[in-house]
């Protein structure tokens, strides 16, 4: 009987090691697929950004340079703000030494 139990234990151990190996291979494949997906998305976004920048540069070249504001021009005045209200008066403070139940607050 001892030989049967050792044989089944060995088979179980082999099956566990095979399962670990297949799980590890699957995990590696999943990680590689995820990395490829991220790289592809990054390349797509980079191409879109470069196309947008090229279009903006072409539009800016057609429009010409933006004139600088003239020096010495009067700046627009800010809107007149309403005067601030005075904060409410604080209650008269009582020194700590003179505090008692009647003037506690």
Q: Looking at the whole model, is its pTM more than 0.75?
A: no
Q: Which residues contact 105 (CB under 8 A, 6 or more apart)?
A: 91, 94
- Each domain of the chain, given as residue ranges in start order, spans 1-63
One digit per residue, pLDDT tens: the chain, 105 residues? 567 889 999 999 999 999 999 999 999 999 999 999 999 999 999 999 999 999 999 988 888 776 777 776 666 666 666 666 776 676 666 666 666 666 555
Q: Which residues contact 91 (CB under 8 A, 6 or more apart)?
A: 105
Q: Is 94 within 8 Å of 103 (Cβ atoms)?
A: yes
């Amino acid at each position: 009987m001892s030989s049967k139990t050792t044989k089944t234990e060995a088979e179980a151990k082999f099956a566990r090691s095979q399962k670990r190996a297949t799980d590890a291979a699957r995990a590696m494949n999943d990680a590689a697929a995820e990395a490829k997906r991220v790289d592809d998305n990054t390349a797509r976004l980079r191409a879109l950004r470069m196309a947008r920048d090229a279009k903006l540069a072409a539009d800016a070249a057609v429009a010409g340079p933006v004139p600088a504001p003239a020096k010495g021009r009067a700046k627009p005045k800010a809107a007149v703000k309403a005067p601030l209200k005075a904060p409410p008066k604080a209650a008269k403070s009582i020194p700590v030494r003179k505090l008692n139940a009647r003037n506690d607050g």
